[in-house]
Structure 1
Amino acid sequence: MTDLLETVVENREMVQPHHANALDVTHGGNVMKWMDEVGAMAAMRFAGETCVTARVDQMNFERPIPVGDTAFITAYVYDVGDSSVQVRIVTEREDLRTHERERTTESYFVYVAIDEDERPTSVPELTVSTEEGERLRREARTGESTR
């Protein structure tokens, strides 16, 4: 069994001009790609198997990430099925000079664990053994149900 806090993955992407659209802010497709990659890392860390994207819930872009800032992406597993892994993914814009952060995007992805024959395979139970883990799970379930 794997504990929720063991699945947390954080990553930063420096927003460069080639990531930007005509408004000099990150193209939404890049944000989605980065979120999918970090979410898959959390899912695989949990499952101990290769995981593929099965579903992406609604994704709202609340604010842009300008060129020169970083996209700070956090993902963690909050629920599982037989072979499915539910991951909450939050992206924040971060100014490295001031350490200021603000949420830009949040979504819920479902990944499926697959075996070497690329067929769905079972995943372990998810445990939650700390107050911080319970808080994160509660936030994910609440956010998912309000979408």
Structure 2
Amino acid sequence: MPDLMETFLENRWMVQPNHANSLGTTHGGNVLKWMDEVGAMSAMRFAGRDCVTARMDQVDFKQPIPVGETALVEAYVYETGRSSVRVRLRVFRENPRSGERELTTESYSVYVAIDDDRDPVPVPELTVDTEEGERLREEALNGDDKESTA
């Protein structure tokens, strides 16, 4: 059975002018796209199958990410259903020189594992074998929006 920490993924994008809105900050649509991509990869790593987006819960945009900074997207599986995989998604603005982070966006998504005919298929049970995994799962279940140090 896959462990939560095996599903923990993070990816970074240097925010360029082509990612920006008229205010010089990352366009929300780009942030959503990046979140969905990393979330789907986390779900697929867990399920070992293709996964499709079923739902993205309320997205909270807390802070902008200016051009020249890095958008850091992190995702991990925190709960499962029969064929569904629940993923916590957080985005941080990260200073590329210092590594300093600030939470900018947060959401929870549900992905569904599918077979070659695109029909839903069962997923394994989630295991949590480390203290860090337990902490992340509890944060997700409690809706905690503290910044991650993972």
User: Letter of the aligned partner of 1:79 in structure 2?
Assistant: E
Q: Paired residue for 1:24?
A: 24
Letter in 2 for 1:142: N
Looking at structure 1, the residues matched to 81 and 102 of structure 2 have their Cα atoms a distance apart, in angstroms, of: 32
Q: Alpha-carbon deviation of 1:20?
A: 0.2
Partner-residue secondary structure (3-state), 1:126: coil
Match of 1:73 in 2: 73
Deviation at 1:32, TM superposition (A): 0.4
Which residue of structure 1 lines up, in the alignment, with residue 134 of structure 2?
134
1:44 Cα offset (Å)? 0.1
Partner Cα separation in structure 2 for residue 139 and residue 71 of structure 1:
21
Matching residue of 1:83: 83
TM-aligned CA deviation for residue 132 of structure 1: 0.8
- Matched with 1:63 is 63
Residue of structure 2 in register with 1:96 after alignment? 96
Q: Which is richer in strand?
A: 1
**In terms of mean alpha carbon deviation, does 91-100 or 80-89 score higher?**
91-100
| SS of alignment partner, residue 143 of structure 2 | helix
**Could you say which residue in structure 2 is the equivalent of 1:106?**
106
Deviations 1:47-95 (Å, cap 9, x if unpaired)?
A: 0000000001000110000001010011000000000000001100001
Q: Calculate the TM-score normalised by the size of structure 1.
A: 0.96
Asked whether 1:35 is paired with 2:41, we answer no
In structure 2, give the amino acid aligned to 1:139: E
Q: 2:3 matched to which residue of 1?
A: 3
Q: CA RMSD in A?
A: 0.8
Which contiguous aligned blocks of 4+ residues in structure 1 show a shift greater than 3 angstroms?
none
What is the TM-score when the length of structure 2 is the normalising length?
0.94
Q: CA deviation at 1:10?
A: 0.7
